[in-house]
Structure 1
Amino acid sequence: MRYNKWVTAGVAGSIGIFFANLTSQVLFFRVGNDVLFQSEQQSDKLIAVMTQMEPLPVMETDPGLYMFISLLIGALHGGVFAYIRDSLPENTIKSGLAYGGILWALMALYFEFHAPFNMFGEPLPLLGLELFFWVIVVSVEGVVISTLYDRFGGPV
């Protein structure tokens, strides 16, 4: 069954970003925790912002609000995907990976440059690790969005 492509895109994007958030929690705060937040290599300023300075990040103080806003952003990501879907590869997985690459180039690169590197003094090797983690996170998001959109909302 096919549904309205914009509604499908919004729902797919929200689900996609939900899985991206789960993936980022595992990568950044489980797999990479010791290197990114516990090592002497890391900037003291970044560690203080994440764990000590008030107000603490919203994802720590109000996870419900953080997730609600993330889902709205995900819906927008889904809408952008629907808008550019015809410009992406026809294959669902390839289109999801291509969209993940677009998200990485337009979102992760700027964020990592602007906040961790520019504002918090994160060292380049740790920035590189985070950018690698972001490749995985946005690839998950892109593939989930593409899979759901192609299955339920794309052209027949």
Structure 2
Amino acid sequence: MSTPSVTSPPPLIVSSPAPGYGPPPMTMPGRVKAMRVVLFVLGGLNIAAGSVLLFGAVAVSTFGDSGDRGLAPLLYVLTAVVLLMATADITLGVRCARGGNRTRIAVIVVASLLAANYVISLYMGQALSAPGLAASIFLIAAGVSPDTKAWFNRSSR
């Protein structure tokens, strides 16, 4: 009795991609996805805070007495700063999908500014700033992690 010969399949040859196309795209790491979610949430909360501040500024300038009306320009400036921060948060959340080291550094800088603001707010007794401080610390920590660096330093096409 003879046993049939078993042949192995031909070896799988992994070839490099066609010239000019580069390596296949990386999948977005979980930390980058979480960074984007946190940035969008912070942006939405800043939009809500800016809306409340704008309403308060209009109410003070319209219905306030002469002593309170002096605070209205300060409230308008504060509203503009909060809405500018919301714009930065949402823009950076969108740009995280494309990568680029400048975007990663911008996220770290914006999160550092937010953390400083939240620390000052906590020092002044505003306990509701604690979740924002935790979110900004997460953004800084995620921005310096190796997998996040690899995502942002990849060649984007």
State whether TM-score is above 0.5.
no
Larger Rg: 2
If asked which structure has higher relative contact order (CA below 8 Å, sep 6+), I would say 1
Which band: TM-score by shorter chain? 0.3 to 0.5
TM-score under structure 1 length normalisation: 0.33
